[in-house]
Amino acid sequence: MHKISPFLWFNDNAEEAVTFYTSTFKDSKITATTRYGSGGPGPEGSVMTMSFELNGQHFTALNGGPHYSFTPAISFVIMCDDQAEVDHYWDNFLQGGKAMQCGWITDKFGLSWQVVPSAMITMMTDKDPKKAQKVAQAMMKMVKLDIAELQRAYDEA
């Protein structure tokens, strides 16, 4: 049991969302499923909660009804090792989702993600403020983050 883990409220498509997330992340698994009984509030036998892991991070999804929805005020950051990994997550989340600026993307369920190359963090934390600023400026012009473009900005500073 993790001391702190995200609990995600879905209207009635938690199972679809969990299946999507566990198919998108290579190191993932569904760990438990609970179902509504005859007392509701969901239809008897339908998924109430699903516990799952993505890259070792535990999550719980709930079919809680239409009372709440996600906003970009909360997002999950995915640190990527290379452009292929950035592209993998970006392309998966873009299916039915919406691209935003600076590597942010909202998936088809309304959940926000930041698909970030770890190389960008290294460049943006460089001791040379000119280099870090050039990388930040390049990032601000992007939707999906492009490591080669970020590296070019860093090298030209």
Residue 55 confidence (pLDDT): 95
Tokens of 153: 């900005």
Tokens of 75: 């997002």
Mean pLDDT, rounded, for 56-80 = 96
14 pLDDT exceeds 70?
yes
Domains of the chain: 1-68 (3.30.720.100), 70-157 (3.10.180.10)
Asked if 77 and 93 touch (Cβ cutoff 8 Å), the reply is no
Residue with tokens 């088809």: 108
Q: Show the 3-state SS of the chain.
A: CCCCCCEEEECCCHHHHHHHHHHHCCCEEEEEEEECCCCCCCCCCCEEEEEEEECCEEEEEEECCCCCCCCCCCEEEEEECCHHHHHHHHHHHHCCCEECHHHEEECCCCCEEEEEEHHHHHHHCCCCHHHHHHHHHHHHCCCCCCHHHHHHHHHHC
Q: With bands split at pLDDT 50, 70 and 90, how would you rate the model's confidence at 75? A: very high
Residue 1 confidence (pLDDT): 67
Mean pLDDT, rounded, for 115-126 = 97
Instruction: Return d(Cα 82, Cα 37) in angstroms, integer.
Output: 45
Q: With bands split at pLDDT 50, 70 and 90, how would you rate the model's confidence at 103? A: very high
2 pLDDT exceeds 70?
yes
40 pLDDT exceeds 90?
no
Q: pLDDT averaged over the chain?
A: 96
65 pLDDT exceeds 80?
yes
pTM for the whole thing? 0.93
Asked if 59 and 51 touch (Cβ cutoff 8 Å), the reply is yes
